[in-house]
Amino acid sequence: MDRIFRILPLLLALLPLAALAQDDASPRQPIDEIVAVVDEEVILRSELEAAITGVVRQVEARGERLPPRSVLEEQVLERLIMNQVQIQRAEQTGIRMSDQDVDRALGDLARQNGLTLTQLRAAIEGDGLSFDEFRQEIRSELTTQALRRRIVDGMDEITDTEIDIMLASDNFRGDEYKLSQILIQVPESAGPDELDEAAARADEAYRELQDGLEFASAAIAYSDAPDALEGGDVGWRNLNALPRQIADVIRDLEPGQYTEPLRIQSGFIIARVDDRRAQREVIVTEYRMRHLMVRPSELLPAEEARELIESLHDRLEAGEDFGEIAREFSDDQGSANLGGMIDWFPEGAYGTGFQNVIDSLAIGQMSEVFQSPQGWHVIRLEDQREADRTVESMRNEAREMIIRQKADDEIERVLRRMRSEAYVDIRL
């Protein structure tokens, strides 16, 4: 389920790591003016300025044109408001992120950028930012992600019938599209005046695009979507993951082309095709092996466990039956009763360490004793094949598409309701 969400680098949309290493000669002078009140919390001018600085760096790094300052302030403030709304709702429903959760996220973030935690902290503080505040932003991002997961977890399960319907559609076997969007949202209870205003705003964005404004810049200036400050980047989508009225238009577009404003349930959208690619066959390498494991325990210290499996390895080399030894001695509960047999599994299913051993073996060859965090092991490669897993892959892809589409719609609906129910006083 987590794969339908954008995970780490987390809040780098506001504090891009590439920019953290840059020198910032301008002194930071925090101004404690309140720019918005969200229920019982406030957003300060200094918070808004810091967020705007991060967005400006990100946009400039992409080589895109910034919108007017007033538009940028409005967009960034709305993101901060929505973030605050989500955090408050999450905390009200018992979602809390521990220090260990934050530490793990920071470790992942550092590794993704080829840094140690010490180097990450030095990069952040070297730019004049507070590492404690950065930790708090990470905690906030983890909290909002957990809230969104809870929203998705509350949806109905995807049925096989839904998957079959999607697989049978014309769009599913077609190309995949990398998309960007400009979304002009309207409230669920919008009246004619609000609809007209949103339509006019969408038309204005469209005219700006026709006059040469870059799509990413237009998204920053006009879009109400959460991805607006990232230039409206949606990512790769199959047509079936899109509303029908969008898919029918997108199908005929080439990379670089965009739609006219389209009326959809949540408002008006302009979608651009950034790239497209054909679906590919999925051919995977699969293996069969016999497995013998001895796990250290309180009754069997690590050294004795190693000595036991080495003695069993000697017996196997002497010709004793692998299956009988596995049934009697193996601590792998999943395969011991099957004589250690683990039937067809894909490459990498048991981790890099196991795969490296498997790759070193010829069919019928037995490994030396090797160790993993679970214990000591001996394996024998029984067989290997190339298997066409396109059908399984397509079913999994169809399931993920349905989940993503339903999740996007449900998250958007719930967040819009949360935003409308929250007390928000904007004081810009």
398: left (phi over 0), alpha (psi -120 to 50) or beta: alpha
Please indicate, yes or no, whether residues 234 and 316 belong to a single structural domain of this protein.
no
Among the ranges given (122-126, 186-190, 232-236, 249-253), the one the predictor scored with the smallest mean pLDDT: 186-190
Mean pLDDT of 27-37: 71
Please indicate, yes or no, if residue 160 is contained in any of the structural domains: no
Amino acid identity for residue 311 in this structure: S
Please indicate, yes or no, whether residues 20 and 121 belong to a single structural domain of this protein.
yes
> Where residue 194 sits, what CATH number does that domain have?
3.10.50.40
| Percent with pLDDT over 70 in the chain | 90
Please indicate, yes or no, whether residues 134 and 228 belong to a single structural domain of this protein.
no
Please indicate, yes or no, if residue 331 is contained in any of the structural domains: yes
**13 Cβ contact list (under 8 Å, min separation 6):** 54, 55, 58, 229, 230
**Helix residue spans in 211-301 (DSSP H):** 215-222, 244-250
Please indicate, yes or no, whether residues 400 and 257 belong to a single structural domain of this protein.
yes
Please indicate, yes or no, if residue 249 is contained in any of the structural domains: yes
pLDDT at position 396 is 83
Which residue in 317, 339, 318, 343 sits closest to 329, CA to CA?
A: 339
**110: pLDDT confidence band, cut at 50, 70 and 90?**
confident
> Where residue 9 sits, what CATH number does that domain have?
1.10.4030.10
Please indicate, yes or no, if residue 411 is contained in any of the structural domains: yes
pLDDT at position 109 is 87
Please indicate, yes or no, whether residues 349 and 294 belong to a single structural domain of this protein.
yes
The secondary structure of residue 315, as a DSSP letter, is H
Q: Characterize the bridge pairing of strands 341-346 and 283-294.
A: antiparallel
pLDDT at position 284 is 87
E strand or H helix that includes residue 426: strand 424-426
Please indicate, yes or no, whether residues 245 and 318 belong to a single structural domain of this protein.
no
With the C-alpha atoms ordered 360, 363, 367, 373, is the resulting torsion angle positive or negative?
A: positive
Residue 329 has pLDDT above 90, yes or no: yes
Cis before 261 (ω within 30): no
Mean pLDDT of 114-133: 85
**34: pLDDT confidence band, cut at 50, 70 and 90?**
very high
Residue 8 has pLDDT above 70, yes or no: no
Please indicate, yes or no, if residue 61 is contained in any of the structural domains: yes
Among the ranges given (73-77, 171-175, 184-188, 413-417), the one the predictor scored with the smallest mean pLDDT: 171-175
Q: Residue 157 and residue 403: Cα distance in Å, rounded?
A: 9
Residue that wins the pLDDT comparison between 402 and 346: 346
CB 2 within 8 A of CB 40: no
pLDDT in tens, 271-313: 999 998 876 677 889 999 999 999 999 889 989 999 999 999 9
User: Which of 121, 153, 185 delimits the end of a domain?
Assistant: 153
With the C-alpha atoms ordered 368, 371, 376, 378, is the resulting torsion angle positive or negative?
A: negative
pLDDT at position 23 is 41
Please indicate, yes or no, whether residues 71 and 120 belong to a single structural domain of this protein.
yes
pLDDT at position 111 is 86
Residue 30 has pLDDT above 70, yes or no: no
Grouping H, G, I as helix, E, B as strand and the rest as coil, residue 331 is: coil
| Percent with pLDDT over 90 in the chain | 43
pLDDT at position 260 is 94
**21 Cβ contact list (under 8 Å, min separation 6):** 123, 126, 127
Name the domain count of the chain: 3
Residue that wins the pLDDT comparison between 416 and 362: 362
Please indicate, yes or no, if residue 159 is contained in any of the structural domains: no
Q: Residue 404 and residue 284: Cα distance in Å, rounded?
A: 25
With the C-alpha atoms ordered 234, 235, 239, 241, is the resulting torsion angle positive or negative?
A: negative
Mean pLDDT of 420-426: 91
E strand or H helix that includes residue 296: none
- Angle of CA points 401, 404, 407, to nearest 5°: 145
Please indicate, yes or no, whether residues 219 and 119 belong to a single structural domain of this protein.
no
Please indicate, yes or no, if residue 74 is contained in any of the structural domains: yes
- 398, two tokens: 């169809």
**Cα distance from N-terminal residue to C-terminal residue, the chain:** 38
Q: Residue 295 and residue 292: Cα distance in Å, rounded?
A: 10
Domain encompassing residue 319: 283-387
**388: pLDDT confidence band, cut at 50, 70 and 90?**
confident
CB 274 within 8 A of CB 178: yes
Please indicate, yes or no, whether residues 232 and 329 belong to a single structural domain of this protein.
no
Which residue in 309, 297, 223 sits closest to 258, CA to CA?
A: 223
Please indicate, yes or no, whether residues 76 and 88 belong to a single structural domain of this protein.
yes
Q: Residue 424 and residue 415: Cα distance in Å, rounded?
A: 14
Please indicate, yes or no, if residue 214 is contained in any of the structural domains: yes
Residue 355 has pLDDT above 60, yes or no: yes
Residue 18 has pLDDT above 70, yes or no: no
pLDDT in tens, 224-259: 988 888 899 998 887 766 777 888 888 889 999 999
**14: pLDDT confidence band, cut at 50, 70 and 90?**
very low
**Helix residue spans in 154-288 (DSSP H):** 160-168, 192-210, 215-222, 244-250
**427 Cβ contact list (under 8 Å, min separation 6):** 34, 35, 36, 37
Mean pLDDT of 84-96: 91
Q: Residue 163 and residue 407: Cα distance in Å, rounded?
A: 16
Tell me what the pLDDT averaged over the chain comes to.
85
CB 225 within 8 A of CB 232: yes
| CB atoms near residue 184 (< 10 Å) | 24
Please indicate, yes or no, whether residues 287 and 250 belong to a single structural domain of this protein.
no
- The DSSP line for 355-417 is HHHHHT--TTPBPPPEEETTEEEEEEEEEEEEEE-HHHHHHHHHHHHHHHHHHHHHHHHHHHH
pLDDT at position 172 is 62
Please indicate, yes or no, whether residues 288 and 273 belong to a single structural domain of this protein.
no
Q: Residue 428 and residue 416: Cα distance in Å, rounded?
A: 22
